[in-house]
Amino acid sequence: MNLKDITAEKLVGLYRNRDLTVTEVITSTYGEIERIDKDVRAFITLCPLRAFEEARRMDERIASGETVGPLAGVPVAIKDNIAIRDVQTTCGSRILEGYVSPYTATAVERLHRAGAIVIGKTNLDEFAMGSSTENSAFFVTRNPHDLNRVPGGSSGGSAASVASGTSILALGSDTGGSVRTPASFCGVVGVKPSYGRVSRYGLVAFASSLDQIGTLSKSVRESAQMLEVICGFDHFDSTSADQAVDEFVKNLDQPIRDVRIGVPKEYFIGGLDPEVKSKIEAGIRVYESLGCHIQEISLPHTEYAIAAYYLIATAEASSNLARYDGVRYGLRKAGNAALQEMYRETRHSGFGKEVKRRILLGTYALSAGYYDAYYVKALKVRTLILRDFQQAFERVDVILTPTLPTVAFKIAEKTADPLSMYLSDIFTITCNLAGLPGISIPCGKNSEGLPIGLQLMANHFQESLMLRVAHQFEKAGGCNIN
Ligand code: GLN
């Protein structure tokens, strides 16, 4: 069975009609992993023992006519910075190699309760720092559409797994685009919910004021279903929002005629690949044909977003990553040496180049004398960016942009120049700085057959509207636009 052609919904229907057993599906999932993943390399850890045990139990429940959850028996992949009890959580880093989590993230717990079956943990840029998954300390994940190209990052393993059919659904995390970027490069759907929508309990912190867990799937409907399961208040996360979760799936087919869509002029300037531009313009025409009103809008502080993001994210990272000291987690080097030397050796050999660069940048931005000039200034810019969006959402309901300025780039093309890698985040990071929900959906391919992503953003906690607008694009054939 080819998981590439099957959706979660269809799978659950097949189980219900007894046309297929969960054990059969889990067996073919691992078969596909064996066949495909030696090239794609999406997974760091596989959990077949638990998966088969859960499949067996689920089959029994289904056979006995028990009511099962909406994701019963659906194979999911989890980014390896999200904790699962008794499974290793590496964050793609040597410093956590072999570290086994003592508890399970709330999002994973909720998926489990809905019947989903975790098949493994996926590769990522070390501590989710990157846009290509090349910063993993272990290996590079490849784009299933072209193995010489990156899958995007940092949730590259999760996106590549869904796109190559080695899982049906996946979780990623998005601090500055890490769900939407790989979704765009791998031709799948990626959703970053509003800040606070999904509990961060069990998500290893990178930049706590920006981090959100998000979903990857082949269709908007599947992501809507997953979000319905994982969103909602959790007392284990003090930043989790006590906001009602709408019936995302049920609302998908509500009409979108007269929805006002804003297209920010600042997102269509230099550096935007002409083929990406023309597909996004064709995407806009799909919305016109669906009766939406397209308006040009302005988000004037966009040009400062990269600078603000790379100050705030690195400042928070430098403080969050202080906990990896050789005492509390994973790796310890020079255990018999003096304490300072043990810290130094552990961090020196445990962290990769990009992580060190960010710790240095962040520590600098927070140091006495530079704090006001860099960190506080960046926070002020963040407020201005949020205000741009607030003003825009007085006039429009959703905002439409390309997800990235280009299609997937070649492996090693940008590794020598970190700045060029940072610049690829220009369209995705504003959403995190403002705490808004964002989605990337496929919008055709370029002349080389590489996927292009269209991004929609909505106001805080307007996921339901955003998903509906995305779903109807898909229904109108926008994903396969020529
Ligand atoms: N590419 C961005 C970065 O490197 C975003 C990463 C993310 O969202 N985790 O920081």
Predicted local distance difference test score (pLDDT) of residue 420? 87
Residues 38 and 59 in one domain: yes
Q: Is residue 379 part of a domain?
A: no
Residue 458 belongs to a domain = yes
15-54 pLDDT, tens digit per residue, is 999 999 999 999 999 999 999 999 999 999 999 999 999 9
The last residue of one of the domains, among 372, 403, 421, is 372
pLDDT of residue 97: 85
Q: How far is the CA of 65 from the centre of ligand 1 (A)?
A: 44
* Alpha-helix runs per DSSP H in 134-258: 156-164, 180-186, 220-230, 248-251
**Same domain for 205 and 168:** yes
| Active-site entry in 79, 121, 218, 414 | 79
Evaluate whether 171 touches 78 at the Cβ level (below 8 Å): yes
Question: Is the domain of 78 the same as that of 188?
Answer: yes
Segment among 7-21, 119-133, 333-347 with least mean pLDDT:
333-347
Report the nearest-CA residue for atom 4 of ligand 1.
Answer: 130
332 with 473, same domain?
A: no
Instruction: Flag whether pLDDT at 236 surpasses 80.
Output: yes
Instruction: Find the mean pLDDT for residues 239-261.
Output: 96
The predicted pLDDT at position 191 comes to: 98
In this prediction, residue 482 carries a pLDDT of 79
Measuring from atom 10 of ligand 1, which residue has the nearest CA?
Answer: 129
How many Cα atoms are found within 13 Å in the side-chain-facing hemisphere of 378?
Answer: 21
pLDDT at 193 over 90: yes
pLDDT higher than 90, residue 343: yes
Distance CA 187, CA 373 (A): 40
- Cβ atoms 68, 7 nearer than 8 A: no
Do 470 and 447 sit in the same domain of this protein? yes
Band of the pLDDT at 334, cuts 50, 70, 90? confident
pLDDT at 168: 98
Q: Is 425 in the pocket of ligand 1 (CB under 6 A)?
A: yes
What pLDDT, on a 0 to 100 scale, did the predictor assign at position 336? 83
- How, if at all, do strands 212-217 and 189-192 pair? antiparallel
Q: Is the domain of 284 the same as that of 325? A: no
Q: Do residue 267 and residue 314 come from a single domain?
A: no
Q: What percent of the chain has pLDDT over 90?
A: 94
Would you say residue 477 lies in a domain?
Answer: yes
Q: Which of 131, 154, 173, 194 is catalytic?
A: 154
Percent of the chain with pLDDT over 70: 100
Where among 324, 345, 372 does a domain terminate?
372
Residue at a domain's end among 320, 346, 372? 372
Taking the centre of ligand 1 as the mean of its atom positions, its distance from the CA of residue 476, in whole angstroms, is 31
pLDDT in tens, 69-103: 999 999 999 999 999 999 999 999 999 988 999 99
Query: Is it the case that residue 132 has pLDDT exceeding 80?
Result: yes
Judge whether 79 counts as a catalytic residue. yes
Catalytic residue among 132, 158, 173, 178: 178
The CA–CA distances, whole Å, from 126 to 81, 156, 465 equal: 9, 11, 33
User: Which pair of structure tokens corresponds to residue 477?
Assistant: 């054939």
Q: Phi first, then psi: what are they for 115, rounded to 5°?
A: 105, -5
Taking only the tens place, the pLDDT of each residue in 415-442 is 999 888 898 999 999 999 999 999 999 9
On the question of pLDDT at 270 being above 80, the answer is no
Residue 395 confidence (pLDDT) = 98
Domain match, 223 and 122 both:
yes
**155 and 205 assigned to the same domain:** yes
Place of tokens 């020529």: 482
Give the domain CATH number at 207: 3.90.1300.10
- For residue 211, give the nearest of 231, 232, 228, 195 by alpha carbon: 195
Name residues whose C-beta falls within 8 Å of residue 100's C-beta, 6 or more positions apart in sequence. Answer: 86, 87, 88, 89
In this structure, the answer to whether residues 117 and 167 fall within a common structural domain is: yes
Range of the domain at 363: 307-372
* Annotated catalytic residue 420: no
Domain membership of residue 429 (yes or no) is yes
Same domain, 346 and 438: no
Candidate of 155, 429, 431 to mutate for ligand 1, largest count of ligand atoms within 8 Å of Cβ: 429
* Residue range 107-128, pLDDT digits in tens: 999 999 999 999 999 999 999 9
Q: Which atom of ligand 1 is nearest to the CA of 178?
A: 8
Q: Edge-to-edge strands of the sheet including 169-174?
A: 43-46, 117-122, 75-79, 169-174, 212-217, 189-192, 438-445, 451-458, 398-402, 260-264, 293-297
377 belongs to a structural domain: no
Structure tokens at 393: 């959402």
What is the tens place of the pLDDT at every residue in 197-232? 999 999 999 999 999 999 999 999 999 999 999 999
Write the CB contacts of 15 (distance below 8 Å, at least 6 apart in sequence). Answer: 21, 22, 62, 72, 73
Residue 378 falls within a domain, yes or no?
Answer: no
Would the CB of 129 count as within 6 Å of ligand 1? yes
Say if 270 falls within a structural domain: yes
Q: What was the pLDDT predicted at 312? A: 98
Mean pLDDT, residues 315-329 taken together: 95
Whether 136 shows a pLDDT value over 90: the answer reads yes
Judgement on whether residues 367 and 396 belong to the same structural domain of the protein: no
Number of structural domains the chain divides into: 2
Q: Report the separation in Å between the CA atom of 403 and the middle of ligand 1, taken as the mean of its atom positions.
A: 14
Residue with structure tokens 């050796």? 345
Taking residues 130-141, report their average pLDDT: 98
Residue 471 inside a domain? The answer is yes
What pLDDT does residue 98 have? 84
Number of other residues whose CB lies within 10 A of the CB of residue 275: 17
Residue of 123, 134, 171, 181 best suited for mutating to test ligand 1, as the one with most atoms within 8 Å of CB: 181
Q: Is 134 in the pocket of ligand 1 (CB under 6 A)?
A: no
Structure tokens at 2: 């080819």
| Predicted pLDDT at 481 | 86
